[in-house]
Structure 1
Amino acid sequence: MANKQQRALTLMTWNVKGLNHPIKKKKIMTFIKSKKADIVFLQETHLSPQESDKLCRDWVGQVFFSCGSSQSGGVAILIHKQLQFKCSRTVKDEDGQTLLLLAEIQGQEMTFINVYIPPGSNWTIYKQIFDLMVNSQGLVICGGDFNIRLNPKLDVSGASISSNALTKKCNQLMEELGIIDVWRELHPKNRDYTHYSCPHRTYSRIDYFFMFSNDCTRVKGCQIKTIDLSDHTRKVQWKLNSTILNDPILKQKLREEIKDFLELNDTGEVSQIILWDTLKAVMRGKIISMTSHLKKIKLQKLVNLQAKLKQLQREDGYKGTQKKIIFLKLENTILKIKNPQTKIMENQLEKIQEITCLTVHSEVRFTSL
């Protein structure tokens, strides 16, 4: 009998910091779709039950959620439409901080737990989450924003800090229960971060995927990827981007196109109104063509800048004032390229949002005795 091809399951977790604004929500949902993840954990959706139902309009697949308020909390789990996902049990809390799904995927029983723990939470909250994992069934995957640095020496940029009582308790309980931090298990000595604190000027890793150590062999990879979405938006309806007129070369080309059009068509045989409307339609096509070419150049610049940004982020925790200045300039340049009309202020560069991606085997493995 031919062996069936292995089915890899990709999960993604992301603290979206609110989905209230419709254009921001559309951008985020479009970005998520482009990543083609099977299961997506979202934290801090800030959506009411009515607004959470609207996620189904933007996501073709199953949507589960636990609602908080319009200012805080709220978690959601998105299931890709092509995934054979049969949910048999849903558990959620009243504060919109925890969502548990017990499901069957291709005959494999699995439990998914999406968690958002607010900053300053006490030990009881963390213990409840770990106890929830222990009492869950099947392959257990717990992910989300935990607002804790389990390894202060590696999970914080700059000078290392000592572990506090909460960190020590979490690490001790995880060791006793056989729970592992998946990313750290695969990258024991690496530095990478999922959050930037503007007031403290520090980077930290506070978003995790947790699993039991016995299931670690199923994991194919776990990565932290950069997101550079901007909240600044523009109307969908086509409108002349006046900033292109700052380009003298492009402006000269437009002058030549207008001159050529008038020499060819302004013969006195058509009214000036028709001539004007036709000119606008033709120039619109010309401008779209020119700006499309400029967009390709801009996208290539973005790719290069993002690579430099990621490289700088990995370098020794951003030590030195000069490196911080370079880093902020790169962020500034990226946002300016994406929207030239945006005035970049320092408080708009609060953090580089990150997503953590996890890939596991969803099929059942058998061992011959």
Structure 2
Amino acid sequence: MTTTIATLNIRHGGRKSGEAVATRLLGYDADVLVITEFRSNEVGLQLCTRLDASGYATSHPDTDPKQNSVLVASRRAIARSWPFSEQLGANHLWCAEIDGMAVCAVYMPQRSAKLPYWEALIAGARRGGIGLLIGDFNTGDNDLDKDPKGTKFIAPEMPGRLVACGYTDMWRSLHPKTREYSWYSRPGGNGFRLDYIFAASELAQQVGSCEFDHAPRISGESDHSGLVASLW
């Protein structure tokens, strides 16, 4: 059985393109969706309503309507959901158990504010049995994951450290030497790969595909590209 996974940062809750974003997300026909920069406001409620009508269970932390957060949607039942850490913002790391697998939706803060979140994942994700880490990590290495002219990442070692503790960067595992970006700076137009799906090492042999969908960024529905993957 193939499991399709998709993630998209919908830009400040999708307030400018709510209907188009919802249609885009449903078009992925994914078994598991992770939506970053989700907001618990009217637009977010409308998105949840459309997901529910299409057969998805949803889970997100209880946050201020103006706060960027994350949402997990699944065609299979969500058995439980919880914050990854009681000491860190649930809007940045939110977990859900789907069909016996723990999935963590990730929306890393900017700049140095992301460091404790990265350290928490590196220290605790494997120990906590997290099978998939999905979302906007706001980080990459300073070689292939950014335009050579772009500003350097803070803490570029973090993705490599996560891999070293037992995860596979699904997209990079299939595209080891490729430059492809999911977000572009304004002004400047420099590209960065910010959006990832990390799979626990025992799932590495099940990775079937992992590709960016640039349509939502090019169309202006979001400022990010989507990322769509499959596990066999």
Offset of 1:144 from its aligned partner? Answer: 0.5
Rg comparison, structure with higher value: 1
Q: Secondary structure at the match of 2:60?
A: strand
Q: Does the C-alpha gap of structure 1 residues 86 and 95 become closer, same or farther in structure 2, counting only changes over 3 Å?
A: closer
CA displacement 1:303-359 (0-9 Å, x = unmatched): xxxxxxxxxxxxxxxxxxxxxxxxxxxx6xxx6xxxxxxxxxxxxx79853001110
* Alignment check: 8 A CA contact 1:75 1:97 kept: yes
Which structure is richer in relative contact order (CA contacts within 8 A, separation 6 or more)?
Answer: 2
- Aligned residue in 2 for 1:101: 96
Q: Does 1:55 align with 2:39?
A: no
Q: Does the C-alpha gap of structure 1 residues 69 and 159 become closer, same or farther in structure 2, counting only changes over 3 Å?
A: same
- Aligned residue in 1 for 2:227: 356
What is the identity percentage for the equivalent residue pairs of Structure 1 and Structure 2?
A: 19
* Alignment check: 8 A CA contact 1:196 1:351 kept: no
Give the letter for the 1:143 counterpart. Answer: I
Give the letter for the 1:29 counterpart. Answer: A
- TM-score when scaled to structure 2? 0.84
Q: Does the C-alpha gap of structure 1 residues 51 and 185 become closer, same or farther in structure 2, counting only changes over 3 Å?
A: same
Alignment equivalent of 2:197, drawn from 206, 209, 212: 209
Q: What is the rounded CA distance, in whole Å, between the counterparts of 1:161 and 1:71 in structure 2?
A: 28
Q: Does 1:195 align with 2:183?
A: yes
Q: Could you list the runs of 5+ residues in structure 2 that have no partner in the other structure?
A: none
Offset of 1:173 from its aligned partner? Answer: 4.9
Alignment equivalent of 1:119, drawn from 106, 110, 114: 110
- Aligned residue in 1 for 2:147: 157
Could you say which structure has the higher helix fraction?
Answer: 1
Offset of 1:210 from its aligned partner? Answer: 0.7
Offset of 1:78 from its aligned partner? Answer: 1.4
Q: Does 1:26 align with 2:19?
A: yes
Q: Does 1:45 align with 2:33?
A: no
Could you say which structure has the higher strand fraction?
Answer: 2
CA displacement 1:186-224 (0-9 Å, x = unmatched): 110111110011134310001111112232001111001
Q: Show the 5 A alignment for 1:330-349.
A: none
Give the letter for the 1:174 counterpart. Answer: V
Q: What is the rounded CA distance, in whole Å, between the counterparts of 1:76 and 1:163 in structure 2?
A: 26
- TM-score when scaled to structure 1? 0.55
Q: Secondary structure at the match of 1:57?
A: helix
Give the letter for the 2:116 counterpart. Answer: T
Offset of 1:9 from its aligned partner? Answer: 0.6
* Alignment check: 8 A CA contact 2:126 2:166 kept: no
* Alignment check: 8 A CA contact 1:42 1:144 kept: yes
Offset of 1:163 from its aligned partner? Answer: 7.0
Q: What is the rounded CA distance, in whole Å, between the counterparts of 1:191 and 1:12 in structure 2?
A: 20
Q: Does the C-alpha gap of structure 1 residues 20 and 352 become closer, same or farther in structure 2, counting only changes over 3 Å?
A: closer
Q: Secondary structure at the match of 1:123?
A: helix
Alignment equivalent of 1:16, drawn from 10, 27, 48: 10
* Alignment check: 8 A CA contact 1:26 1:58 kept: no
- Aligned residue in 2 for 1:110: 101
Equivalenced residue count is 224
Q: Secondary structure at the match of 2:20?
A: helix
Q: Could you list the runs of 5+ residues in structure 1 that have no partner in the other structure?
A: 1-6, 230-330, 336-348, 362-369
